[in-house]
Amino acid sequence: MSYDDPWYDALASGWGEGTGKGTGAPTAVRTPPVRAAGVPAARGREGAAAVADVYLQVQRSAAFQEVRSRYRRFVVPAVVVFCAWYVAYVVTATTAPDLMARPVSGAVNVGMLAGLGQFLTTFLLTWAYARHARLRRDRAALELRWDTQELARGRGGES
C-alpha cells in the first residue's frame, strides 16, 4: 500500500537547517526544492498563479470556512477558560498565601492541589482537543486537502 500524499514527504520552507562550523550559529542549507510524487511543478508565473488561485478558491470555500469555524469554536473558549484558570491560580498564590498554605491532608495543601490541577487540566485539554479534532475536523480537512490536490493538478501543469 502506498501513501500517495503530496505533502507527506515535502519539506517545509526553512527546514533542513544545519549549524555553521564551530560557531554554533544556524546556517541555511541550500537544497533544491522538494516535490513529492504527483505534485505538479508550476511552470513560470502562469503555473504558480494558477496554483495560488486554487488555494484562494479553497480558502474562500464553504468547506474550508466550516473547518476553521469548528476549530475556532473549540479553541477560543478553551484558551479563555484555561488562561482564566491559570491567572486565578497565580493571583490566588500571590494575594492569598494563607489560603494556599491551608493543609488538606498531611503535608498536602491547597496550593499543591491547585498546582497539580494545572497539570491535570493541561492533559485534559490536550485530550479534549485531540478528540475534537478527530471527531469534528480531521475527515473534513483531509477531504479538503485531497480536493485541493486535485484542483492544483488540473491547473498547475504537469511535468
**Are 125 and 60 found together in one domain?**
yes
Report the C-alpha gap between 139 and 142 in whole angstroms: 5
**Are 138 and 62 found together in one domain?**
yes
**Are 84 and 20 found together in one domain?**
no
pLDDT at 108: 93
**Are 50 and 65 found together in one domain?**
yes
Per-residue model confidence as pLDDT tens digits over 15-36: 554 555 555 555 554 444 444 4
Residue 26: which H helix or E strand, with range?
strand 26-27
pLDDT at 52: 79
Overall domain count for the chain = 2
**Are 56 and 25 found together in one domain?**
no
Q: How far is CA 29 from CA 9, 11, 22, 145, in A?
A: 18, 12, 16, 29
Burial of residue 54 (CB within 10 Å: 0-12, 13-18, 19+) is buried
pLDDT at 80: 97
pLDDT at 84: 97
Residue 18: which H helix or E strand, with range?
strand 18-19
Considering the entire predicted model, what is its pTM? 0.60
Sign of CA dihedral 135, 140, 145, 146: positive
Domain coverage including residue 71: 46-156
pLDDT (tens, 9 = 90+) of the chain, 159 residues, equals: 555 555 555 555 545 545 555 555 555 544 444 444 444 454 555 667 777 788 888 888 888 899 999 999 999 999 999 999 999 999 999 999 999 999 999 999 999 999 999 999 999 999 999 999 999 888 888 888 888 888 888 765 544
